[in-house]
Structure 1
């Protein structure tokens, strides 16, 4: 087991304790259901913007993006480039829509538009997305801290999860937002510090990093050919536009924040603040990946150590040194990209600074997980409990359900994270799962907003056809080779694009057919 110096442990401990104390501070306020879910609509736009930015900047970004850039190139940065267009649509159409309805749940209006089935399906998709998001983030933070401490990943998830549950339950959305403001600053400073330390470790500095990166094509944004079967520039651009449209327009994590703003104008400004912060800062994480690639190229002896560790994790316990060496020789950068930053942190960052950087990674994880817990509990209360079990629930009953829901979804996120142990790439895993679950939800939402004449039966038919398309695109890769002609030929990130368009277009066509009949 690795042992962190006392000063690093103290910094991490102080950070975790401070987050819990924030929850206690906000618990002193009147914690009715309105305060717990909307913060009384009294949060300034800049704080909400920093909060949304912190939610985007999760440990999937902190650990997964450098690992992805190390193993391939900057192709995934195109996701960030798609954000301004999605934000424009959200600011112009979604924010005014939600502020007008006043519904704290993003899915209540779907029942008004299409009936209970639409609301239920969207809620199921959202909750599955949240479990995938929280699980991947728990996994990411545990991966890093295990390298530092030697403590089992499951134990790390449980300890960190308990801290998050405490301050989220006690303080509600207000505690979530204000802790995320702090966490957004901490994780940004942590990223800049890591990049500085890696650059310092490369003889020749930035010029050497650029030279090595260019020779290995590390700065490529992907092919610009019109190919949708591989991860080209256009595939990631489309994926990013649709998934960010879902984030800003349908994801309870973000929609709920629109209601906490003091005015519609401040809600809109929060979206743009998030975008203008996230795009350049996400580029920093891709730069960290390129810097780490150059660092390990000029220190090949360290690269062999990382490959050996990655190989040992893939083999059964007790594997011989020869078996480990043989497997390590076959590994490609994409196979161990997620391991390089934790290794660098363990071995090359000075005492004291490790505690600060671990706190930044914790901030990256905690902000998104706490947001997911609160949003999931809100949806559970509004769209399940009050819809199906107690329509006339009083405030104390609502609060009891919100508290229980927060705890249950926090525990479910931990269990999901533990189940993900052994995954190859955090970022790839999260992108695939989010695209699958978000596709149907976004398609129904757009159909309801744009095609005003589509009725419930047409919407349901379109949703069922879209779900079949999504299932085929997701599961056809498991077909035997004799049925290869029936496999999905498109890249996995096209699932949300094709799934969303299938539901929307089928709904529009059915509506036009009915009107002509």
Structure 2
């Protein structure tokens, strides 16, 4: 990975090369990179652990990913892509102002530091079990490797190495599955049937109880998940930055489709693996849910163990490098240049220094925040970030979809929403999957009302950055597509139809499996 980082990054000369690969990437590596970042080591270890305990129900956490990507592709991302921005939060200042831009940046950095730190903790935990090396030492090594090749190659190295790492992940999991069933007396079919009899293949719970209190309940996961993933795929710098490296809107939409399908297929395999391991391990209890995958790896022969560990570290590094590069981009474009550098573009050397700073910060947060975690890491992270994702999504929706929202109103409304989420909503006892919807509603209501009370009308120029104005402009100019791909917001094209179809097919498959 370090050698590849050096080779692909040796031609980097400008900030755009380092952060956006000169907007020259094709759809295939970008799609693998987006998928690899989401299917991190958290899913690699946490998915089977969650599936072991709860069967296929945890797959519901991801069921709405294709729907969210469809909405992002159909409404928001073509407009944001057309602005040719380095940081998505530059848009917030163009439409609203500096206060809200800074608030959205703080939310992104908080969210990313929580996510990326967990992505370092899990491979460190596994290697600690296999080698006995101190977990803090391993955390430092993992992050330093990721820092080095990210510094050498920038976003181009991130995308190329992610694509390779995604292939390694698939190879490790499939190889492990083939071997496991090859040496057992039970066939895959028999194991599958036994898991079904034990209720491990059930996944759709429409009950009122599950809908309110269970993160895997049908309504909570489908509706709450749609908002949660919409923020991730439409308004999160880590995703939009990779997509912005695409050389055309056609490549961008292809990347969306392939990544959405790949990540859900792989996550389904992880969760299904956990359900099947429940049968293979005879229902053995584990004090730590993350130990399920560790025991699975330990039972493999030399060679496959190496491949699974390589897959684990591939998953870790593919997530760390992406978020490391994105956090550096946001800090430079949204904090350093506006407030410290006085709007002068940062040189490449300083950009790399800031990436190094964030890498060191990740090490400290990982050691402090996650040591001693015993439940599935996916569940822990989901709860942490759910209080941030709703207000962050609501902020963008106000900016993009309304004419009345202004800087002061949205900034105050988002802040009020966040504190309500922390100090009141979390005490209600409902599942955290509803937090995203609650956060969006609170932010939109408070942000809109306070914007009206503030009586600070957006300028005509600011209103050109709404979806309504963008759509009107395209219709007036009769510019409805590029390279045969629709760019008109709210118009469903071929890529969106594929994503919607895949979303519905998932339910059909789950029904067939459970019956």
State the TM bucket, normalised to the shorter chain.
0.7 to 0.9
1:432 aligned onto 2:416: no
Q: Summarize the alignment of residues 105-254 of structure 1 with structure 2, pairs less than 5 Å apart.
A: 105-226=87-208, 227-231=211-215, 232-254=217-239
Task: List gaps (5 residues or longer) in structure 2.
Answer: 456-515
1:402 aligned onto 2:351: yes
Tell me which residue corresponds to 1:74. 56
> Contact between 2:408 and 2:454, CA under 8 Å: does it hold in 1?
no
Residue number among 332, 345, 369 corresponding to 2:297 in the alignment: 345
Kindly state the Cα deviation for residue 503 of structure 1 after the two structures are TM-superposed: 0.5
Tell me which residue corresponds to 1:255. 240
> Contact between 1:381 and 1:401, CA under 8 Å: does it hold in 2?
no
Kindly state the Cα deviation for residue 494 of structure 1 after the two structures are TM-superposed: 1.7
1:447 aligned onto 2:398: yes
Kindly state the Cα deviation for residue 278 of structure 1 after the two structures are TM-superposed: 1.4
Residue number among 362, 373, 380 corresponding to 1:423 in the alignment: 373
Kindly state the Cα deviation for residue 203 of structure 1 after the two structures are TM-superposed: 2.5
Tell me which residue corresponds to 1:43. 25
Tell me which residue corresponds to 2:249. 264
> Contact between 1:198 and 1:292, CA under 8 Å: does it hold in 2?
no
> May I ask how many residue pairs the two structures share in their alignment?
450
> Contact between 2:9 and 2:156, CA under 8 Å: does it hold in 1?
no
> Contact between 1:472 and 1:488, CA under 8 Å: does it hold in 2?
no
My pick for the range that moved more, 504-513 or 349-358, is 504-513
CA deviations over 1:471-511 (Å, ceiling 9, x no partner): 1246x5xxxxxxxxxx3131122222211121113334556
> Contact between 1:239 and 1:497, CA under 8 Å: does it hold in 2?
yes
Kindly state the Cα deviation for residue 108 of structure 1 after the two structures are TM-superposed: 1.0
Which of the pair is proportionally richer in helix?
A: 1
> Contact between 2:227 and 2:436, CA under 8 Å: does it hold in 1?
yes
> Contact between 1:41 and 1:259, CA under 8 Å: does it hold in 2?
yes
CA deviations over 1:396-417 (Å, ceiling 9, x no partner): x432332122112112222222
Q: Summarize the alignment of residues 255-404 of structure 1 with structure 2, pairs less than 5 Å apart.
A: 255-297=240-282, 303=284, 335-346=287-298, 348-394=299-345, 397-404=346-353
SS in 1 for 2:344: coil
Residue number among 493, 496, 502 corresponding to 2:433 in the alignment: 493
* Compared CA separation, residues 201 and 118, structure 1 to 2 (3 A): farther
User: Following the alignment from structure 2 to structure 1, what is the Cα–Cα distance between the partners of residues 64 and 288?
Assistant: 28
User: Following the alignment from structure 1 to structure 2, what is the Cα–Cα distance between the partners of residues 170 and 449?
Assistant: 36
> Contact between 2:69 and 2:234, CA under 8 Å: does it hold in 1?
no
SS in 2 for 1:29: coil
> Contact between 1:209 and 1:290, CA under 8 Å: does it hold in 2?
no
CA deviations over 1:140-186 (Å, ceiling 9, x no partner): 11121112111121111111111110000010000000001101111
Kindly state the Cα deviation for residue 31 of structure 1 after the two structures are TM-superposed: 2.8
Tell me which residue corresponds to 1:318. none
Tell me which residue corresponds to 1:87. 69
> Contact between 1:213 and 1:290, CA under 8 Å: does it hold in 2?
yes
Kindly state the Cα deviation for residue 360 of structure 1 after the two structures are TM-superposed: 0.7
Kindly state the Cα deviation for residue 94 of structure 1 after the two structures are TM-superposed: 2.2
> Contact between 2:404 and 2:451, CA under 8 Å: does it hold in 1?
yes
Q: Which runs of 4+ in 1 moved over 6 A?
A: 512-515
Task: List gaps (5 residues or longer) in structure 1.
Answer: 1-18, 308-332, 477-486
Tell me which residue corresponds to 1:327. none
User: Following the alignment from structure 1 to structure 2, what is the Cα–Cα distance between the partners of residues 401 and 500?
Assistant: 36
My pick for the range that moved more, 87-96 or 165-174, is 87-96
1:414 aligned onto 2:363: yes
TM-score w.r.t. the length of structure 2 is 0.83
> Contact between 1:199 and 1:291, CA under 8 Å: does it hold in 2?
no
* Compared CA separation, residues 440 and 190, structure 1 to 2 (3 A): same
